Amino acid sequence: MSGTTSALTPPSYAVVPDRHPEAPAPGELLGSHYGRCFGCGTGQSHGLHLEARAGEGLRVTAEFTVREVHQGAPGLAHGGVLATALDETLGSLNWLLRAIAVTGRLETDFKLPVPVGSVLHLEAEIKAVAGRKIYSTATGRIGGPEGPVAVRADALFIQVKVEHFIENGRSEEINAAMNDPDQVRRARAFEVNP
Give just the sign of the alpha carbon dihedral 26, 84, 50, 98: positive
Q: What is the pLDDT of residue 185?
A: 45
Q: pLDDT value at position 136?
A: 97
Evaluate if residue 100 carries a pLDDT over 90.
Answer: no
CA distance linking residue 93 with residue 87, whole number of Å = 10
Question: For residue 41, what pLDDT is reported?
Answer: 60
Q: Dihedral, CA atoms, 16, 136, 158, 83, nearest 10 degrees?
A: -170
In this predicted structure, what is the pLDDT of residue 163?
Answer: 58
Dist. CA 45–CA 69, nearest whole Å:
10
User: What pLDDT is stored for residue 160 in this prediction?
Assistant: 84
98 or 42, higher pLDDT: 98
Residue-wise pLDDT for 30-78, tens only, equals 876 665 665 566 667 776 668 888 999 999 999 988 989 888 899 999 9
Residue 176 is predicted with a pLDDT of 62
C-alpha–C-alpha distance, residues 16 and 137, integer Å = 13
pLDDT value of position 189:
44
The answer to whether residue 88 scores a pLDDT higher than 50 is: yes
What is the tens place of the pLDDT at every residue in 153-193?
999 999 987 555 555 556 666 666 566 555 444 444 444 43
Q: Is the pLDDT of residue 86 over 70?
A: yes
**Residue 6: its pLDDT value, please?**
81
pLDDT in tens, 116-157: 999 999 999 999 999 999 999 999 999 999 999 999 999 999
Distant-in-sequence, close-in-space partners of 161: CB < 8 Å, separation ≥ 6: 100
Q: How far apart are CA 69 and CA 48, in angstroms?
A: 10
